[in-house]
A = this chain, B = another copy of it.
Amino acid sequence: MSKDLVIDAADPVLKSDFVTEMTRQIRAIDSYGVYDTATDIDVLDPLVLTKDRKRAIPIVGDPDEETLARVKAFYNAIAVMTEKECGKMAVPLMHISHEGFGRVLITVGKLVVMDKTLRDVHRFGFESLSKMKDEADKLLSVALNIVGKYPEVAGL
């Protein structure tokens, strides 16, 4: 929280459902209370990787705990949004190796509604908050589409 913040406090995307849920998720898994006194912008800011910030991160590296927590928060938030929209329980399952490679699934009933391979997790982030929301909206719409197509399997 010592570095310069890049998020504009007036950005309307801050009030969107997804970004609100994302903030909630990061605070929820913040077991050491790092963000107890932080504003929402402080919490979200490390998710924005501007070109300069990205350049400062080595190409190869192991993800640290905070980065892993943000990845977890992102997919948890997508699961929560999926659940809200379709009314059925959506469960994320993530496996990431120490080297930052892995896979994340979201299931609804017996249906896999999202399945993503993760790479270079130590560089997890988005060009802007809007890009993060766009990515989440895309994954969410695919997930809801699958649930709509196979409601019986999603209900198992």
Residue of B nearest to A109 (CB): B112
How many residues of A are counted as interface, with CB atoms below 8 angstroms from the partner's CB atoms? 16
Main secondary structure, interface of A, reads strand
What's the nearest-Cβ distance from chain B to residue A61, in Å?
22
Is A42's beta carbon under 8 Å from chain B?
Answer: no
What's the nearest-Cβ distance from chain B to residue A143, in Å?
11
Is A28's beta carbon under 8 Å from chain B?
Answer: no
Chain B residues whose C-beta falls within 8 Å of the C-beta of A105 in the assembled complex: 93, 105, 107
Alpha-carbon distance A131/B120, docked complex (angstroms): 41
The B-contacting residues of A in range 92-150, CB under 8 angstroms, are: 93-95, 103, 105, 107, 109-113, 115, 146, 150
Is A38's beta carbon under 8 Å from chain B?
Answer: no
Alpha-carbon distance A110/B146, docked complex (angstroms): 9
Alpha-carbon distance A115/B106, docked complex (angstroms): 12
Among B95, B112, B146, B152, the residue within 8 A (CB) of A112 is B112
Chain B residues whose C-beta falls within 8 Å of the C-beta of A94 in the assembled complex: 95
Chain B residues whose C-beta falls within 8 Å of the C-beta of A112 in the assembled complex: 107, 109-112
Residue of B nearest to A104 (CB): B93
Q: Which 9 A-B pairs have the closest CB atoms?
A: A110-B112, A95-B95, A107-B112, A153-B153, A150-B153, A93-B95, A93-B93, A93-B105, A93-B103
